[in-house]
Amino acid sequence: MLDRRNFLFSTGAALAAANVSSWSTTMREGTSGFTPVVTPNGSTLAYELDGDVKVFRLVAEPIEREFAPGMLVRAWGYNGETPGPTIECVQGDRVRILVTNRLPEHTTIHWHGLRLPNGMDGVGGLNQAPIRPGETWAYEFVVRDAGTFMYHPHADEMLQMAVGLMGMFIVHPRVDDERVDRDFVLLPHEWAIHPGTYRPDPTVMTDFNLFTFNGKVFPAIEPLVVRTGERVRLRIGNLSMDSHPIHLHGYSFDVTATDGGRIPKSARWPQTTVNVPVGSTRDVEWIADAPGDWALHCHKSHHTMNAMGHGLPNLLGADVQDLEARLKRLVPGAMLMGSDGMAAHAAHGEHMQRPPNTLPMMTGTGPYGSLEMGGMFTVLKVRDEIAPGVDPGWYEQPPGTSARRVE
């Protein structure tokens, strides 16, 4: 967790240096100068102060991550997590990031999107020698730009990112004239973990079968809980192998920034789906003025489901009853999939045998039954009253505002 005392001190000092009147305003209002980001299912990296330098520590190491109850993944991460903890600082800060390598092979870290001295850019072989197992290296630079950035290895890069080494790097402006009430961070990722196994397969290049937000699949992804009327920012990164069109129901948002910086107000796009290309970040912002439970998900429909068997014959529309009866005589418990659509296979588990450590293809239950989702899906919960850290449960639709059966 963030070290609250250092956090307040450094933010106040930054504001005092920048602008005396904003310092006094800030003190009078009792605020800290910026709204800290929240990384659902993750954490913000604590730091220590060495004089004026914010000192962060990252340990690259093999980890275990529970994608959802019933599935444990043997991945690589930072400080026990994938994605690694979110680094959060203020424009103009001098940061020192101590990186310890506890992996079985060398690594480096590249600070994606940040403008910094060439020797701090982290490309193994180009900007530095690799960080060998057991070594700790220091990266130190002044953070020049505010924005939404990322960090990831630039050594054996395809493998190290395929198994989970990545994180977000958030820089707040020194004086924030577009402060929001809630500031969330999501890092989607995609994985190839064959049913019945525990380790991502780094030889798979494009045919992924598990899709996470912050290292979790629905329904294990925490909802985003906000109060009615709040201004909300969502920062989305992407270090996977595909773009992710992230769609929010019930709202239109403005795309306010990329990893290249804030977009001038006159050039912002109103959208309901923001495509986040590979190697990019997008900030979107909206006023949460509509209470409810609003779906927030990747719009590639195979990214909102979990692994299924591949190489199966297409049975959609086929009459399989006789075939299934005959097959069951040969292979007790066998079943054919997808002749009437796939929905019958949501959250089934019980009537369909799955390999160990394998999640249902579609799962999750809402107030009206099965959601038939998985992967990159969560819910924005907007309520008039919320309590910190408390999931408010399902939304109660006001009478007369629900879809209904008419015959």
- Please say which residue, 240 or 363, places its beta carbon nearer to Cu ion: 240
- Please say which residue, 60 or 186, places its beta carbon nearer to Cu ion: 186
Q: How far is the CB of 190 from Cu ion (least distance, A)?
A: 7
- Please say which residue, 127 or 275, places its beta carbon nearer to Cu ion: 275
Residue span binding Cu ion (CB under 5 A) among the ranges 41-49, 240-248, 332-340, 379-387: 240-248
- Please say which residue, 25 or 301, places its beta carbon nearer to Cu ion: 301
Q: How far is the CB of 286 from Cu ion (least distance, A)?
A: 20
| b/e code 345-361 from CB counts within 10 Å (16+ = b) | bbbbeeeeeeeeebbbb
Of positions 54, 172, 244, 297, contacts Cu ion by CB under 5 A? 244
Q: How far is the CB of 217 from Cu ion (least distance, A)?
A: 12
d(CA 40, CA 389): 11
Residues 290-349 that bind Cu ion (CB under 5 A): 298, 300, 303
By C-alpha distance, which of 156, 150, 223 is closest to 189? 150
- Does 175 bind Cu ion (CB under 5 A)? Our answer is no
Residue span binding Cu ion (CB under 5 A) among the ranges 63-71, 141-149, 241-249, 261-269: 241-249
State the residue for tokens 């960080």: 131
Q: How far is the CB of 353 from Cu ion (least distance, A)?
A: 28
Q: How far is the CB of 268 from Cu ion (least distance, A)?
A: 23
Q: How far is the CB of 220 from Cu ion (least distance, A)?
A: 17
- Please say which residue, 10 or 281, places its beta carbon nearer to Cu ion: 281
Q: How far is the CB of 297 from Cu ion (least distance, A)?
A: 8
Q: How far is the CB of 157 from Cu ion (least distance, A)?
A: 21
Under rule CB under 5 A, how many of the chain's residues touch Cu ion?
4
- Please say which residue, 110 or 189, places its beta carbon nearer to Cu ion: 189
- Please say which residue, 180 or 276, places its beta carbon nearer to Cu ion: 276
- Please say which residue, 277 or 393, places its beta carbon nearer to Cu ion: 277
- Please say which residue, 57 or 247, places its beta carbon nearer to Cu ion: 247
Q: How far is the CB of 218 from Cu ion (least distance, A)?
A: 12
List of residues contacting Cu ion (CB under 5 A): 244, 298, 300, 303
